[in-house]
Every structure is written in structure tokens, then in C-alpha cells.
């Protein structure tokens, strides 16, 4: 998919027109927030800054360069998140989330770990609870 001379945010907004059940908010030119309106799901946000992008799935965050390959990866991940083939595995201690893992369903329909975002937790000795966040059509 070639994307010259068009902002990634505009491309994503056009792509998401075929998903009428989601809400799109763009309060700033360089930020896009997507709400899938799924009760067990997560918000999706994209922030564009010079020469790079930051993609957020709730508190999970990933940095991308402004390359065609990374732009295509961002679009693919957003579609996967909307369609429920991406999920966030959220770790908490004492009802306080501290780690988020992005998982994608592979060709065998198994969940594959893609990346992790985490904060340091001082009470490392306690057992974490795990919650799965996944956008789905209820």
C-alpha cells in the first residue's frame, strides 16, 4: 500500500469508514483516538510527531518510524485491534496495572506475543492478576 503525500491519520480515518460501530475523535491535527465501543476492549490512539509515530492500546505503547513499512504495520495493528485479532494482556498488583503485553492471533489461531510495556513495581514479590482486554462485537 503506497501512502505518499497523505497523512497516516487521514488514511486511517478513511479506512475506518467501513467500521460504523467505532467512534473516531481527532481533537488535534496530529492525534487520533479510536473507541471500538467494546465493553471488554481498549482505546486505540495514534500520535504523529515529526519523523515518528506512537501507537497506544490503552497503556500499551509502541514507537514507529515514519517509513512506509512502519506505516503499513500501524494500519494492520489498528485493524487487528478493531477486529479482535489483537488483545492486551494486562498485569496488575493490588488493583494497579503495571504491565501490558500485546498479543496477535497467528495463522494457527494461537496468541503470539508482540511486545511489552511496563512500569516498575515495588512489590515484586506479590503474585499478579491478569486481565485480557480485547475489542469484540458483543
**Of 49, 44, 42, 57, whose CA–CA distance to 15 is shortest?**
44
pTM: 0.88
**Of 62, 63, 37, 49, whose CA–CA distance to 9 is shortest?**
49
What pLDDT, on a 0 to 100 scale, did the predictor assign at position 5? 47
What pLDDT, on a 0 to 100 scale, did the predictor assign at position 6? 67
Cell numbers placing 82: 478493531
Average pLDDT over the chain, rounded to an integer: 91
Longest dimension (CA), the chain: 51
Helix or strand holding residue 44 (H, E): strand 44-49
Give yes or no for a contact between 100 and 90, defined as CB atoms under 8 angstroms apart.
Answer: yes
| pLDDT tens digits along 22-64 | 999 998 999 999 999 898 999 999 999 999 999 999 999 999 9
Task: Using alpha carbons, list the distances in angstroms from residue 14 to 38, 98, 119.
Answer: 21, 34, 35
Is the pLDDT at 122 greater than 80? The verdict is no
Amino acid at each position: 500500500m503506497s501512502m505518499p503525500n497523505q497523512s497516516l491519520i487521514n488514511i486511517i480515518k478513511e479506512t475506518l469508514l467501513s467500521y460504523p460501530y467505532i467512534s473516531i475523535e481527532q481533537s488535534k491535527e496530529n492525534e487520533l483516538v479510536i473507541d471500538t465501543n467494546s465493553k471488554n476492549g481498549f482505546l486505540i490512539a495514534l500520535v504523529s510527531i515529526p519523523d515518528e509515530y506512537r501507537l497506544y492500546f490503552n497503556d500499551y505503547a509502541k514507537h514507529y518510524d515514519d517509513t512506509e513499512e512502519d506505516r503499513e504495520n500501524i494500519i494492520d495493528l489498528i485493524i487487528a485491534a478493531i477486529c479482535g485479532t489483537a488483545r492486551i494482556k494486562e498485569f496488575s498488583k493490588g488493583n494497579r496495572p503495571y504491565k501490558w503485553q500485546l498479543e496477535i492471533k497467528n495463522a494457527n489461531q494461537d496468541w503470539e506475543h508482540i511486545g511489552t510495556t511496563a512500569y516498575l513495581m515495588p512489590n515484586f514479590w506479590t503474585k499478579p492478576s491478569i486481565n485480557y482486554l480485547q475489542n469484540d462485537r458483543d
